[in-house]
Amino acid sequence: MVKLLSFYQSNQLNAEPMSTKTLYLLPLFFFVFSGCKKNDTPPGEKEYRIQASITVDGLLRTYTVNLPPNYYESKDFSLVIAMHGGGGSGEQFESTSLLTKKADASGFIVVYPDGVKGDGALQARTWNAGACCDYAMTKNINDVNFIRQLITRLTGSYKINPKKVYATGHSNGGMLSYRLACEMADKVAAIAVSGCSMMVTQPCNASRSVPILHMHSERDTNVPVDGGFGTGPSGAYFHPLDSVFNVWSQKNVCTIPNQVATSNTKYTLRKWLGCNNSVTIEYYLTKDGGHAWPGGLPGSWLGDTPSTAISANDLLWEFFQRYQLP
């Protein structure tokens, strides 16, 4: 059974660049499989795509799981939790990031959870990353607990190695990834984020050193590299990325900070090395693109053109494969 999903996507309340634009309800449609858990599969047929829900803190939370083609012939799979930007959805992020194609080719499981819907006219989905964003923040939605419960359910239901669970996300989804690194380092082995800043409101007390891959465009005006108020509709103040990396460099006890590893006409790559437990911090700053998933598709009809200098999907998977929980 197929249903038609309509959504607007600023790709975040501080996601898709709005500069002189206003949030619109975009008539952009995606065909997706329906059902709380896909129950129209003929008996005996293998499932590779499952839509399901879980109740956490009294809220019904939804998500979509994609299993790679080799799932039933192998074991010990990695799990990548892929979180959309504010105003998006799991299905939208799957479509615009193209991450499922990478997951199928490389043989890892990916789950696309949905943020909570707001109570405004557009019912924009957001994540509570601390000081951002919108409904999830103002209502203090416990998204950290949601992701923790989701990991518990998925590792108990699928052939996932619990030491190989990773978080990624764009914009508001990337902000939540940073919060998970601070509060759930016992469950998440590494994070990879795009177009975001760290927005936690409490001291970051990560229980271990956390590997971090950050991708950003110098043209991003929604979440400016140097911090400040972006052009998006969130109204949030974003911390400068330099300060974010300084925090994590100290927490990871990196003895060789902020080294330029690559600098060319397309991007600059900086690394923080000599960190505890051989973790690294890697920061790709592209000269093209904007507030969009590098190597993917624009988050909406009004969205920025993604960078073509790097592929977020290739970089995050190469990065994640280096790390697992102790």
DSSP 158-206: S-EEEEEEEEEEETHHHHHHHHHHHH-TTT-SEEEEES-----SS----
Number of domains in the chain: 1
CATH code, domain with 301 = 3.40.50.1820
Domain membership flag for residue 165? yes
Range with the lowest mean pLDDT among 36-45, 54-63, 209-218, 276-285? 36-45
Domain membership flag for residue 210? yes
Domain membership flag for residue 55? yes
What pLDDT is stored for residue 44 in this prediction?
67
Tokens of 266: 């397309």
Domain membership flag for residue 199? yes
Domain membership flag for residue 121? yes
What pLDDT is stored for residue 45 in this prediction?
87
- Say how far residue 256 (Cα) sits from the centre of its chain: 27
Domain membership flag for residue 62? yes
What pLDDT is stored for residue 257 in this prediction?
96
Q: Percent of the chain having pLDDT more than 90?
A: 83
pTM of the complete model? 0.88
The confidence band for 22, taking pLDDT boundaries of 50, 70 and 90, is very low
Domain membership flag for residue 38? yes
Domain membership flag for residue 264? yes
Average pLDDT over residues 97-110: 98
Parent domain of 313: 2-320
DSSP 19: T
Dist CA 175 CA 195 (whole Å): 9
